[in-house]
Copies of this chain bind each other. A is one copy, B any other.
Amino acid sequence: MAKVKTKKKDKELIILVTNDDGYTAPGIHALVEAVKGLGKIVVVAPDKPQSGMGHAITIGAPLRLTKVHNFEDVEAYSCSGTPVDCVKLAVDKVLHRKPDICISGVNHGANHSINVIYSGTMSAALEAAIESIPSIGFSLLDYSLEADFTATKKYARIIVEQVLKTKQLDKHLCLNVNIPKLDESLIKGIKICSQAYAKYEEKFDERKDPHGKKYYWLTGEFVNFDKRKESDVWALKNNYISVVPVQFDLTHYELKKKLEKNWKL
């Protein structure tokens, strides 16, 4: 009997999951659970916490990739590098193609406003966007390892589905999503926001080691200067989930015009 030709199966949707707290953090497990069933999930995440790594990449040392088995039914690897390294390595050496979406997090702690600059979670997402992979970074405003991810999981899935439906809106679609530390019933919904202008007023904590030599711990107070109701800080304070579309063209076009007009070169 002649073989019946079957229609070629649609190329499977691949979801790359990474984070900056490391592959053992509860947040990344919550994120994997949130998107179960939406496609093939592959995890490539740092082998140790990488908070505050920003867009760091590993240049002076080689990277290691190790298969790990702590994600039930999900192919997963730990990587010795930064969150950005994880994305680069996943595409080139694990998936051998671009995933359909890259999601990063769920970060244990806020990444709204200026934090987007320091955040390893968001840098991983932005790296994917540079590669034209739609991406989302998720952060819960709760530093605790025992944080409750119930609401986060529900909304992360909604947002991932929205992005998959509307990814044609931008070739480099990248979202910074922050979720307030609230019971699901108190969350008012999702708000598309702008990055608030806020920063840290640094105060280093000066100490002396047992040999009498000074050392310094970075500490600081968060100060929000942004009064706009469309800002992510405003949305979070008012019980909304904030979604800030993020770009990697850092050109300050307004200042560019001013320089062209005012500089005598």
Residues of A at the B interface (CB closer than 8 Å) are: 49, 51-60, 62-65, 84-85, 88-89, 91-93, 114, 116-118, 123, 126, 130-131, 162, 166, 169-170, 173-174, 176, 189-190, 192-195, 197, 199, 202-204, 206-207, 213-218, 243-256, 258-260, 262-265
The majority secondary structure among interface residues of chain A is mixed
In the bound complex, CA of A197 to CA of B259 (Å): 21
| 5 tightest A-B CB contacts, nearest first | A54-B55, A247-B252, A245-B255, A54-B54, A245-B252
Quote the shortest CB–CB distance from A69 to chain B (angstroms): 18
Q: How far is the CA of A260 from the CA of B213 in the complex (A)?
A: 54
> Is A194 within 8 A of B256, CB to CB?
yes
Report copies per complex: 2
- Supply 19 A–B pairs (Cβ within 8 Å), ascending by A: A49-B60, A54-B84, A55-B56, A55-B117, A64-B214, A65-B214, A93-B206, A117-B126, A117-B130, A130-B199, A162-B263, A162-B265, A169-B258, A173-B255, A192-B260, A194-B249, A243-B259, A245-B251, A246-B252
